[in-house]
Structure 1
């Protein structure tokens, strides 16, 4: 299949379909939805970590000479620190203008699944949610395209990891928009429009990155740092709020399931390639 078509299909999978899945998820009764969502977060952690350490980082190092290894490692470290600073600035902005407490509202929104940018404070404008999510989706599209340009099978598992962490985030975005007075129809329409930024980012990356092979390993390293940061800084802390042994075992099992699925997908892609 044409590489550009693959990028379009899988960026749509990571964007539009995750919005539709989140919309269906919102149809569940509140009690059931609140019970299921943490399980999805556990699975997303495993998927994000596996695609980073099993796929993106090894492929990035395979594409460069040994003398560039230190530079790639520095890129991963810098990426994690940059994402921390960006999220910190965004949280500060919301709290500065909305007078939120240091921890209270921020924690509430992570429970609803707005996981990457922490843009879901209860008094935030709906438009800010949509704009912030569009930027996030655009970057996801670039990362997926970069993975495909390196190796199609890596692109497939990367898009799966993007979808895994997008679904709980989109659930959070829906909840915030509805809280800010949007109808369900408008919230769905705006989220779908926002998700199209993933496809746009993938297409632009295809045309601009195809002849820039020397920077692809560094983009993969940044993608890995993004996924690692989301998993470790945003998702894992939400799991620690449940301390019962049964909950902990379920979390471990679902994280392992996310890891195994990504590894299995990688193996299947290898077998098709062979």
Structure 2
């Protein structure tokens, strides 16, 4: 397949898969019990993709490692600011700030919170598409691994989005439709990234550094704190095993793609 076909296919399949899986978690009380495990696995996949694939590739491509490291640092600060401004809101568990605000209102908010989430998620997916394009333009196996990590963390995020939409007054069908439409913003981002980055190859290391920063931020600042709410030894061991499994999956994918 051509690189463009890889990008479009990955964005479509990845976006659809993450929304469908998230819907199964959000709409079924039984499957919600496994969400904590999904979050742990996503942490491993994100960190594995960053430290085993994305950063090594970015270092190989950049003429200045110090500037690349500074870009990662800048990216972490940037995503912190964006989250503070509610432009990029990740919600992975029932008792997050977004849910507490909605429950405190004792009723629907006529779609305001839901629409805010969809706008933020659309922007998020658009950026994910650009990141996937940058990864595929570097190397096909890096693109696949990056897409895998993005899908892994999209599922728990989309579960939170579904919950907010439902509490904001949307039906299950409408919530699913909005999330699915929002996910296709990654396709637009991927296509734009493909045609833009081909003529600006020097941007790719910086974009990979920003991709690494976004994944580090999501894993460390957004997902890991939620795991600390389960302090039992059994829960901790389960979390560690699933995190290692996420890292192992990325490593295995890298090995298979290289072969």
Shift of 1:148: 0.3
Q: Select which of 166, 181, 184 maps to 1:196.
A: 184
- Residues 139-164 of structure 1: CA deviation (Å, up to 9, x unaligned): 00000010000111000000000000
Kept in 2: contact 1:157–1:262 (CA 8 A):
yes
Distance 2:43 2:154 in 1: 12
More deviation, 32-41/230-239: 32-41
Distance 1:185 1:111 in 2: 21
* Ranges of 4+ aligned residues in structure 1 off by more than 3 Å: 118-121
Kept in 2: contact 1:90–1:119 (CA 8 A):
no
TM-score normalised per structure 2? 0.91
1:256 matches 2:244: yes
1:151 matches 2:149: no
Shift of 1:110: 4.0
Q: Which ranges of structure 2 fall in alignment gaps of 5 or more residues?
A: 103-108
Aligned to 1:81: 77
- Residues 201-236 of structure 1: CA deviation (Å, up to 9, x unaligned): 001110111111111001000000000000000000
Shift of 1:17: 1.6
Aligned to 1:100: none
Aligned to 1:48: 46
TM-score normalised per structure 1? 0.86
Size of the aligned set, in residue pairs, is 249
Distance 2:50 2:165 in 1: 31
Kept in 2: contact 1:56–1:224 (CA 8 A):
yes
Kept in 2: contact 1:4–1:203 (CA 8 A):
yes
Alpha-carbon RMSD: 1.9
Kept in 1: contact 2:72–2:210 (CA 8 A):
yes
Aligned to 2:7: 7
SS at match of 1:182: coil
Distance 1:119 1:35 in 2: 20
Kept in 2: contact 1:113–1:170 (CA 8 A):
no
- Residues 153-206 of structure 1: CA deviation (Å, up to 9, x unaligned): 000000000000001111111111111111111111111110000111001110
1:90 matches 2:86: yes
